[in-house]
Structure 1
Amino acid sequence: MKNKYLNSLAYLGVGGAHPGGFQLTKYILSKEEITNEKKILDVGCGTGKTAAYIAKNFRCNVTALDVHPEMLKKARRRFTNQSLPINVVEGSVENVPFEQEMFDIVLVESVIVFTDVTKTLAELKRILNHDGVLYAIEMVLESNSEQLSLNAIKDFYGVPEIFTEQEWEQAFRNAGFTSIKIEKYEIDEADFNLEQAPEFELSNNENMDEYYAMLFDHQVLSETFKHKLGFRIFKCTL
């Protein structure tokens, strides 16, 4: 895989790396009435932390999708160790190997921004049931920034573009979603505990020093641009 940042997450085995972390994941899931008949897709499942939580707590049909073999290897190990019957699929969200209207809930935690947004949203719409819901957590541009700064961010994360909240909303509408509810989630530091912290499951790889350095650079960028970059929850229905 060419994206160095995503490679660093995979080989360091970082779980819950998306904005808001696992605290936000649990918050989103708490807003839905999830019965054991529901079919849920975790897009960009990573090491499987979210998919495992859903399967254990809601006993529903869970599918975990990721494009990175190293992430999937760690996800499969997690599911096996916890005896969870989760369907694991390797594939790109730009061309998902699923039938039309297959899922009731699709959860995408900081994935779409790394892809061709138009292709990805078209696929997510195609596989979502007519009465289903798409939850997306995505990076947003909070304020105007010098192009040089934006280029540095895009180059580091390997993303083609960074959207404002309004541009994201328009992208979802262009894809055919008719209801887009947007929430700016405020992280409550008082509720933070070890469960909310990112997990690490290290691989045996010759480039580990480079991956550690990238994680450090990510922290520096996050602090440097904390007033210009944020994130939103997008709840989209057809």
Structure 2
Amino acid sequence: MKNKEQLSPEVIYEMVANVGFRKHFHLGGLEATRELVESCHIDREKYVLDVGCASGKTACYIAKRYGCRVVGVDILERMIDRANERARREGVEDRVSFRVADVQDIPFEDNLFDVVIGEFITGLLDDKERGVNEYIRVTKPGGYVGLNEATWIKTPPPAELIEYLSRTFGVKGEILTSDGWKEMLEGSGLREIVVRNYKARALSNKWDNLKDVLRVWHKMLYLYVRNPAFRSFIKETLSIPKNLLEYFGYGIYVGRK
């Protein structure tokens, strides 16, 4: 890449939004989401905030599965548009709402939500602790903060893996180990910390149905032909180091305020 700025996190997620992905950009797929939600003790009475909600897949899933109220925030307006489309399509507009917001400066009052969750968003922040502190600020006393985040499951990782993840997925800072995530949550004042780590079986997510997959591939082909930045992004992304999955995985991290 001659221009590294082309693959900044903002550009990457704008590309993802343009393609029209219906799924989240995280490891573990629906199985990981279910584990995260269950670990946060979500039920019908809970008021939930989904930070970095992307196209609203998880927020709508929670609303349909539990019947509770959910708010999703994402920094990209295009993602919020897609999330609102999803809520209408899935018939949960009365329980789910979305708005554009920076998760490092959440536009809600203190002690509002019973649960705050985030999937593969906190690890992309310039200041992870600031993000976590914001999640905690808007969580009610006794409520839960739950994260599904990229994790080094074997250390030290080779330099080429660190460079690959930074270049292709916009990881700005350090990817943490499970101990690092636990220490951050504990240091931010959360208690009853739950930590579960998993190897990544593949860098994919199996939420989509065939119709969505075909739509995505059609749009990807169009962008690949017409957009040089997108071509560079795809080429970089597909150049996966052979040993990546030996070191790179994800973790479920949950704490109580």
Q: With structure 2 as the length reference, what TM-score do the two structures score?
A: 0.79
Give 1:196 shift: 6.4
Aligned residues of 1:12 and 1:211 also touching (Cα < 8 A): no
1: CA distance, partners of 2:102 / 2:242: 30
Segments of structure 1 that go 5 or more residues without pairing to the other structure are none
Are 1:155 and 2:167 matched, yes or no? yes
Give 1:204 shift: 7.4
Corresponding residue for residue 226 of structure 1: 245
Corresponding residue for residue 124 of structure 2: 114
1:13 corresponds, among 4, 8, 20, to 20
The 10-residue stretch of structure 1 (105-114 or 146-155) with the greater mean CA deviation from structure 2? 146-155
Aligned residues of 2:49 and 2:113 also touching (Cα < 8 A): yes
Residue 114 of structure 2: SS of its match in structure 1? strand
Corresponding residue for residue 73 of structure 2: 65
Segments of structure 2 that go 5 or more residues without pairing to the other structure are 1-5
Corresponding residue for residue 100 of structure 1: 110
Corresponding residue for residue 87 of structure 1: 97
Aligned residues of 2:36 and 2:148 also touching (Cα < 8 A): no
Corresponding residue for residue 48 of structure 2: 40
Aligned residues: 236
Residue 94 of structure 1: SS of its match in structure 2? coil
Aligned residues of 2:30 and 2:206 also touching (Cα < 8 A): no
2: CA distance, partners of 1:186 / 1:50: 21
2: CA distance, partners of 1:223 / 1:45: 30
Q: Deviations over 1:196-222 (max 9, x none)?
A: 679556597999224365356435437
Aligned residues of 1:140 and 1:162 also touching (Cα < 8 A): yes
Q: Map 1:148-227 onto structure 2 (within 5 A).
A: 148-158=160-170, 159-185=172-198, 195=207, 208-209=223-224, 210-211=229-230, 214-215=233-234, 217-221=236-240, 224-227=243-246
Q: CA RMSD in A?
A: 3.1
Aligned residues of 1:177 and 1:236 also touching (Cα < 8 A): yes
- Structure 1 residues 179 and 69 mapped into 2: Cα distance closer, same or farther (>3 Å)? same
Residue 230 of structure 1: SS of its match in structure 2? strand
Q: Deviations over 1:126-179 (max 9, x none)?
A: 011111111101111222123354233223322222112111111112211123
